[in-house]
Structure 1
Amino acid sequence: MTAPHGRTLLHLAAALDRRAAHDAASFVESAQLAERGALDFVTLGDTFARPGLDALAVLSRVAPVTGRIGLVPTVTTTHTEPFHVQAAVATLDWVSRGRAGWQIEVSRTETEARLFGHRGPELPSPPGQVTSLPTVEALWQEAGEVADAAARLWDSREDGAELCDGATGRVIDRNKLHQVDFEGATFSVKGPSTVPRPPQGHPVRVVDATEGPARRTAARYADVALVRTAGPAQARAVRAELRDAAAAFGRDPDDLRVLAGLGVDLGDGERAAEPGHGGGGPRQTARGPLYRGGPVGLAELIAAWHRADAVDGFHLTPVEPRRDLERIVNATVALLQHRGLFRTFYPGSTLREHLGLARPANRYAVAGGA
């Protein structure tokens, strides 16, 4: 879909992260609110570095009480089994009827490593054994391999492989099962997957590409890249870098959506953006760029970046989840819809359709047909 000025419509997403929330109700309420605003998707962060609910399990609870909005949990590729990760994400795609995504992340701290019995360089190693934490570059290389293996496993059961034929007693068409025989630097996977091919073919893969080591993985494997930059010129440069890298990997760069990550503090309502938070860009903080002001100013900022063709949309993180998300949906999104920059309804039912991404062909079915 295109906006009146000829550019494509914005993509908008929001984070559901809440500190010390241990009940599903608050996440359900926020996801339903975001869905009323027709946002593309919501994310839920997760890490082994802090206690809290499992993001993928929470969004599996949200899935049956929402109908259109995409659901994107963070799942780390470090200290986890790639086969289990892809099966869990595929399951979320099934229970949400094609609305699942997966924000790929790495675990880089000593605290997280020790949870799994791994030793860092400052801890004594067993006699004759030298161990150390991998570099961030190595962690993101592994993350890319997990993303690659996951896509192969999603393809390892062709569409229609499940027969459930009562007359013959056949439950699976073995000609539509494929071994992936994937060999990575730190793991190997034989396949096939135990979960039928997801409704989207491949659930949407999301990578925060703000840091350099993550950009190669994002350019090669992500459907959506998040970048946290404080100005449209910098965002446009990162977007161009990611698109060029995607093309170098043999991808169509138009298959990569780049969203600007932005913290949002809408405070007491209708006030102008505080100095340094609006205009050309939000203020840079230790946690990334932050907009502090009113919902109208936020709409102006988003529209300005869109006019500058800096990014494909925004991923917004409310500072105060309930208050700020309500004002984003009821005011900022409404203004963007009024200006014809954002849709007023979901034209499709899957997250890939919201993002304007085609359902990937099955690599094994195509090879077999050839």
Structure 2
Amino acid sequence: MTASHGRGLLHLAAAVDQPAAHDAASHVEAARLAERGGLDFVTLDDTFARPGPDALAVLSRVAPATNRVGLVPTVTTTHTEPFHVQAAVATLDWVSRGRAGWWIDVSSTEGEARLFGRRHAAPADELWREAGEVADVAAKLWDSWEDDAEIRDVATGRFVDRDKLHHVDFTASAFSVKGPSIVPRPPQGHPVRVVDATEGHARPTAARYADVALVSAASSAQARAVRDHLRGLAAEFGRDPDTLRVLVSLLVDLGDGEHAAEAGHGGGGPRQTAQGPLYRGGPVDLAELIATWHTQGTADGFHLRPVEPRRDLERLINGTVALLQHRGLFRTFYPGSTLREHLGLAKPVNQYAVTGGTS
């Protein structure tokens, strides 16, 4: 059954990045494994800075091969067209029947800028302000169709009620969008927006627009401090902080099987590396770390990134997650069907249906 305790439900997600894989089959296999463990969602990273398949397209292929697990590709807001990005994410929500998320990221290097030739690289603060504007206009475009805008009346030939389509007329620092969207309102209303808020530049955008904030932290105290900061910022922006889920993002190396975490990990805790905080040890100690940090109020859950994709994900699901389920700390089945339901987040009210406005 679904378990909870004083700190609320534990949320777990995993990365299914496989740098050497260019086919969909291995990603389907990984997502199905994560789904078998009841994970909230899987992420697939993407960047213009390295070669590889398009993350959103890969997870669109994974969607019909899975039933419950959330699917969260990285899609940059730099050098991309906001109108096209929101339509693509909305489409993923439709083809997955309400399981889409969007890991919002920026492209900061001159090499990435040269791929497009439209502008030079920009400072991080500027890029994240733009990312916030893209997140904002995406929500407006998702709302530009009211839920019952589609008529599909064969007799009259009317497909849509034009009174329930809305122009957003949005002007930002680097783009403008009139709308409405070309895709009907997604099943979740707004697909889940995810931001890595480890760096300070990204935190205002995460606090204002994200449903899930990821935080790389090497200690419980560090993670809790960032979570408190993000919740405080969310309140300043007029949000209920309880609508923001903060997950600790950890690299995990479970290659030592059931052996204890190696010396230097602080009794099973992570240690800082060039790639970010790394946990190296066994699935049992990892389960203990997750349970302890969650009970302490460190975070709402964990986003786990396997060092060795196939091996570590399997040990994570069959070892760590199974143990957490056995202890009643993590669900053994999905109580709902959408990613928002997994995260305990309500479907947003359509801003235009409520106000009748166009801005």
Q: TM-score, normalised by structure 2?
A: 0.97
Letter in 1 for 2:59: L
- 1:54 pairs with 2:42: no
Which whole-Å deviations, capped at 9, do the CAs of 1:253-305 have from their partners, x for residues lacking one? 00000000000000041100011225373010111100000000100111110
Deviation of 1:4 (Å): 5.7
Matches of 2:338 and 2:86 in 1, distance apart?
A: 18
Tell me, what secondary structure is at the counterpart of 1:137? helix
Matches of 2:135 and 2:86 in 1, distance apart?
A: 9
Which whole-Å deviations, capped at 9, do the CAs of 1:297-329 have from their partners, x for residues lacking one? 100111110121100000000000000000000
What does 1:181-260 correspond to in 2, within 5 Å?
181-260=169-248
Tell me, what secondary structure is at the counterpart of 2:150? coil
Deviation of 1:6 (Å): 3.0
Verify the 8 A CA contact 1:14 1:42 in the aligned structure 2: yes
Instruction: Name 1:124's counterpart in structure 2.
Output: none
Verify the 8 A CA contact 1:278 1:297 in the aligned structure 2: no
What does 1:248-327 correspond to in 2, within 5 Å?
248-279=236-267, 281-327=269-315
Matches of 1:101 and 1:248 in 2, distance apart?
A: 25
Matches of 1:61 and 1:116 in 2, distance apart?
A: 27
Instruction: Name 2:165's counterpart in structure 1.
Output: 177
Tell me, what secondary structure is at the counterpart of 2:149? coil
Letter in 2 for 1:112: E
Verify the 8 A CA contact 1:282 1:290 in the aligned structure 2: yes
Tell me, what secondary structure is at the counterpart of 1:306? helix
Verify the 8 A CA contact 1:14 1:43 in the aligned structure 2: yes
- 1:83 pairs with 2:83: yes
Matches of 2:87 and 2:269 in 1, distance apart?
A: 40
Letter in 2 for 1:93: D
Instruction: Name 1:112's counterpart in structure 2.
Output: 112
Number of residues of Structure 1 aligned to a counterpart in Structure 2 = 357
Letter in 2 for 1:228: S
Deviation of 1:160 (Å): 1.3
Which whole-Å deviations, capped at 9, do the CAs of 1:181-207 have from their partners, x for residues lacking one? 011000010000000000000000000
Verify the 8 A CA contact 2:268 2:285 in the aligned structure 1: no
Deviation of 1:232 (Å): 0.5
Name which of structure 1's ranges 250-259 and 280-289 shifts more when overlaid on structure 2.
280-289
Matches of 1:152 and 1:262 in 2, distance apart?
A: 33
Letter in 2 for 1:156: S
Tell me, what secondary structure is at the counterpart of 2:250? strand
What does 1:115-134 correspond to in 2, within 5 Å?
115-118=115-118, 120=120, 133-134=121-122
Tell me, what secondary structure is at the counterpart of 1:258? strand
Runs of 5+ consecutive residues of structure 1 not aligned to the other structure: 121-132
Verify the 8 A CA contact 2:262 2:268 in the aligned structure 1: no
- 1:352 pairs with 2:329: no
Verify the 8 A CA contact 1:225 1:258 in the aligned structure 2: yes
Which whole-Å deviations, capped at 9, do the CAs of 1:102-125 have from their partners, x for residues lacking one? 0000000011000001454xxxxx
Deviation of 1:19 (Å): 1.4
Which whole-Å deviations, capped at 9, do the CAs of 1:323-351 have from their partners, x for residues lacking one? 00000000100110111111000000000
- Percent of aligned pairs with the same amino acid: 79
Letter in 1 for 2:307: V
Matches of 1:195 and 1:9 in 2, distance apart?
A: 33
Question: What do you get for the CA RMSD once the two structures are aligned?
Answer: 1.3
Instruction: Name 2:41's counterpart in structure 1.
Output: 41
- 1:366 pairs with 2:351: no
Matches of 1:154 and 1:284 in 2, distance apart?
A: 39
Q: TM-score, normalised by structure 1?
A: 0.95
1:166 to 147, 154, 157: 154
Matches of 1:278 and 1:153 in 2, distance apart?
A: 47
Letter in 1 for 2:70: G
Name which of structure 1's ranges 12-21 and 1-10 shifts more when overlaid on structure 2.
1-10
Tell me, what secondary structure is at the counterpart of 1:281? coil
Matches of 1:279 and 1:78 in 2, distance apart?
A: 41
Instruction: Name 2:135's counterpart in structure 1.
Output: 147
Verify the 8 A CA contact 1:2 1:8 in the aligned structure 2: no
